Structure 1
Amino acid sequence: MRPSRSMMSAIPSPPVQLEVVMPRHLLAITIAPILGLFIISTGNGLISSLTPLRLDAMGESAMVIGLISAAYFVGLTIGAFCNDRLIIRTGHIRAYSSFASLTAVTILLQGMLVNPWAWFVLRLINGWATMGVFLVVESWLLLAADQNNRGRLLAVYMIALYGSCLISQVGLGNIDGLGVDSPFMLAGTLSALSVVPMVVIPRIAPEMERVEPVMPQQLLKLTPTGVMGCFGSGIALAAIYSLLPLYLQRVGMDVRQVGHMMAYVIFGAMLLQYPVGRWSDRQDRQRVLIVLSALCVLISAAIIVLPNSPFIGLLMFLLGGGIFSLYPVSVSHAADRTSADALVRMIQGMLLINSFGSAISPLIISPVMSGVGASGLFWSLAVLHLFLLVFFIWRRMVRPAPVPVAPFEPSTQMTPIGVELRVTDDLVAGALDQDMAATPEMAAERNPLSDDDAPLQP
């Protein structure tokens, strides 16, 4: 990928605030991709939760459900690192139309073909096409971004993504009550409808180049804490999206209640990520990761002991805040250790690690659910976060975390192209300050692109 425009200037800018009010000209450029993302994500969020519920109602085992759920995340991972070739070849608008149409077809066929192995193939293709949609939208926003509006664009993107998930989960029960085929018809319609905003606006062609993320072995030299945090976050997030609806149904909730519980999780993720991140600006980020891991262990244990607690909604809200905050804090921690010219590629590498965790998550957790029952989901989450807790404590004992180089930016799991939106001028300026103050030995440790073996850093 080309160097970020933000890397072309070492002049510090005022701290980026999480503002969503945009100038009229910027709104005109970005309204189409954001609206398209909102529409298609509403349908996809509906099907993501409905798929495990329908499979369970069909009598499929947790292992089969986990395999089909994993297919979607495998498709996402493949698409993240190959779909950009198609976009470069055909252009953003035609690529978006192709991906959205394919998403609509897979959803409609899923409603027609009531067969788990057909669903496996369809979910794989759906994940691949969905990542193509995200690549188009995020690269489009990146074209519009500059040092003054990058934070606001990122905020609007997150609101559109999480807002669509909230709406789809809250309406899950009502839509499912309309009939067996209604959710698939509605989600397919929304996917097709999302093309409309993209084709009626002025033709803008964002520049886009091949992505070459930093490889995991290089990142391990730079920041084992960041790598493990991103990997564990991928496992936990995929479990929440793919297996939590199954758990909720198996403990006796109907489809409407499942949707409401999932909405609590998404709302917690949306509301708590920013204050957690700002707290990480004032503490060392390793301590924040330790607290988040401990919180997730305690919440998972509480749900295991009290699955029908009257406070289950609050527990889901806190669980969403804890699990969804783990990834951006881990990436921010890694950025504190990275040289300015490697920031974009470092975050892309973290995304690769996170995507791999998401792809294997249903495959390793669904057998636990088959063996011990529905509570196996939260046993798995408890063990996962206990491991992260111990690992983070050990790394902090080995070497304390660095001082944050720039204010935290809330974020969701983005595409390799979209991660550049996270690289604000504040972050680059802070990294450049660290680079200029570093000794040759320290500079080698901060550069994950170096071929030299560097000592482990937290």
Structure 2
Amino acid sequence: MAGQILSIAALLFSTFLMLVGGGLAGILLPLRAGLEGWSPTTIGWIGTTYALAFTAGCLIVPRLVRRVGHVRVFSVLLTLLSMSLLLHALVIESVAWMLFRAIAGFSLAGGYMIVESWLNERVTNDTRGMVFSIYMIVSMMGLLIGQYILPFGNPATQTLFIICALIYAAALIPTALSNAQSPKPLTQVSLDLKALYRRSPAAVVGSLIAGIIAGSWNFLAAIYGEQIGLSTLGIATMLATAMIGGAIFQYPLGRASDFVDRRYVMVVAGIIGLVLSTMMVLVHPGPGWTIYLLMFLFGSVLYPIYSLNVAHANDSADPSEFVEVSSGLLIVYGIGSMTGPQVAGRLMDAVGPSGFFITMAACFALYGAHALWRIQRRSLAIAADQKPDFQFQASEIQPTPETMQLDPRSEAVGQD
């Protein structure tokens, strides 16, 4: 086991540094945009371009790697990430930031895919689960640490932007010096939406709604925290407590779905999300322990819902179809992520910070109601021992097609 971990240590360190940079950028950029006086709708557009470019990266980067190789493409992508953060600091203009954030989204998608493909090349079916778990833990720790860099600087100055660019540049070093051989070509995504919907309507619609929720949270949660009076440390703690709640509750929620129709768990998650979001609107908590407690509980359903969709879709799929089905849902999720910042941003402009959780309440209500409707429309007769196990995924880690290859549930089609 120790030898297996040592053989992928450089790749995991690159992943860790990328996620540290991603965690810092994800909270720094919205806050700086807010300090510039940009509206939540404008900040939402920045989030939309990021999500659009991230999804496009999953489609385009495999073709680039096929042409010039993993190492060269990875070097270019990390360089673009560093440049994008420096450009944010140099040009303070909303339309320019949309372009710069799109560059980052495209580059991060490619960076994740290349590291994950290297990891996938190093695992066997016996070690896939261990490596996948370590990868998720390392990624989550990187995000948490990145978010907590924010209180050590001032978002109104260029210092944090430069630090973030340096972190992205440093992420190139471990992989560039690694002796790992270039893996097979990256997974190419194909999408047959009609066939995917016929297979699992609840998973397709659920993934779209999960994307709207995630897109709203990822790009506007920090603005919500700022508007209710939290300090930079408080905002980082708010995001961290939600992430920790998701990590803790994802396993029991997922395991429960292994023994019953997963759509019942989706209904329960929708109800919990609706109740907690409504409480946030009615109670309107400000600085203090109440906001962190509610965010911890909210994270329990915020993060697991996408994984529930993937698990439900794969219940009715052959093992050889796992990557294809999961990749299709990923694109649907990406479409939702583009939409979420627009919806939440406009509501926040219209009614203030409560518009953020009004959006969340509506989405969770739709998520649970649609799952309940699908239960009435189609019954499932899948024995618990025939269902693939729910797989833990670290909070806020944006999945790529290569993540699906690395997932231990794909071992039936993986390499020996």
TM score, norm. by length of structure 1: 0.85
Matched residues, number = 406
Equivalent of 1:68 in 35, 42, 46: 46
Whether the aligned pair in 1 keeps the contact of 2:125 and 2:408 (CA below 8 Å) is: no
Picking from 421, 424, 429, the partner of 2:409 is: 424
CA distance in 2: counterparts of 1:392 and 1:350, whole angstroms: 16
Match of residue 384 from structure 1: 363
**Aligned CA distance change for structure 1 residues 115 and 209 (closer, same or farther; 3 Å):** closer
Aligned partner of 1:323: which letter?
L
| CA distance 1:428–1:284, change in 2 (3 Å) | farther
One-letter amino acid of the structure 2 residue matched with residue 245 of structure 1: A
- 2:188 is matched with 211
| Equivalence for 1:369 | 348
Residues 187 and 401, structure 2, Cα contact 8 Å, conserved in 1: no
Find the counterpart in structure 2 of residue 29 from structure 1: 7
CA distance in 1, matches of 2:123, 2:206: 28
Is the counterpart of residue 194 in structure 1 residue 171 in structure 2? yes
Once the two structures are superposed, residues 83-104 of structure 1 have per-residue CA deviations (whole angstroms, 9 ceiling, x without a partner) of 1111222222222111111100
Shift of 1:203: 3.9
CA contact (8 A) 1:81 1:416 kept: no
- Secondary structure of the corresponding residue to residue 278 of structure 1: helix
1:321 has 2:300 as partner: yes
Q: Is the 8 A contact 1:104 1:188 kept in 2?
A: yes
CA contact (8 A) 1:251 1:374 kept: yes
Deviation at 1:56, TM superposition (A): 1.2
Q: Equivalent residue for 2:137?
A: 159
Instruction: State the alpha-carbon separation in 2 of the partners of residues 146 and 32 from structure 1.
Output: 18
Identical residues among aligned pairs (%): 27
**Residue 274 in structure 1 maps to residue 251 in structure 2:** yes
Partner of 1:403: 383
1:135 and 2:80 equivalent?
Answer: no
Match for 1:258: what amino acid?
I
SS of residue in 1 equivalent to 2:92: coil
- 2:230 aligns with one of 239, 245, 253: 253
- The aligned residue for residue 123 of structure 2 is 145
User: Does structure 2 conserve the Cα–Cα contact (< 8 Å) formed by 1:108 and 1:185?
Assistant: yes
TM-score normalised by the chain length of structure 2: 0.93
Letter in 2 for 1:348: S
CA distance in 2, matches of 1:209, 1:376: 40
How far 1:403 sits from its partner (Å)?
A: 3.4
Distance 1:346 1:197 in 2: 33
For residue 418 of structure 1, what is the amino acid of its counterpart?
T
Gaps of 5+ in 2: none
Residue 315 of structure 2: aligned partner? 336
Please, which runs of 5 or more residues in structure 1 have no aligned partner? 1-22, 430-458
The reply to whether residue 114 of structure 1 matches residue 96 of structure 2 is no
Cα distance, 1:176 vs structure 2: 2.8
Larger displacement relative to structure 2 (389-398 or 204-213): 204-213
Do the aligned partners of 2:320 and 2:412 also contact (CA within 8 Å) in 1? no
Sort the Cα spacing of 1:384 and 1:378 in 2 relative to 1 into closer, same or farther, 3 A. same
**Residue 415 (structure 1) shift:** 1.0
* Aligned counterparts of 1:321 and 1:428: Cα–Cα separation in 2: 31
Q: Paired residue for 2:330, among 351, 359, 384?
A: 351
Displacement of 1:217 in angstroms is: 1.5
Alignment check: 8 A CA contact 1:273 1:410 kept? yes
Does the aligned pair in 1 maintain the 2:11–2:175 contact within 8 Å?
yes
> How far 1:427 moved relative to its partner?
6.8
Aligned amino acid, residue 326 of structure 1: I
1:439 matched residue in structure 2? none
Instruction: Rate the CA distance shift 1:36–1:389 in 2: closer, same or farther, 3 A.
Output: same
Contact kept? 1:406, 1:426, Cα under 8 Å: no
Structure with the higher fraction of residues in helix conformation: 2
Map of 1:449 onto structure 2: none
Displacement of 1:370 after TM fit? 0.9
Structure ID, larger Rg: 1
Counterpart secondary structure, 1:424: helix
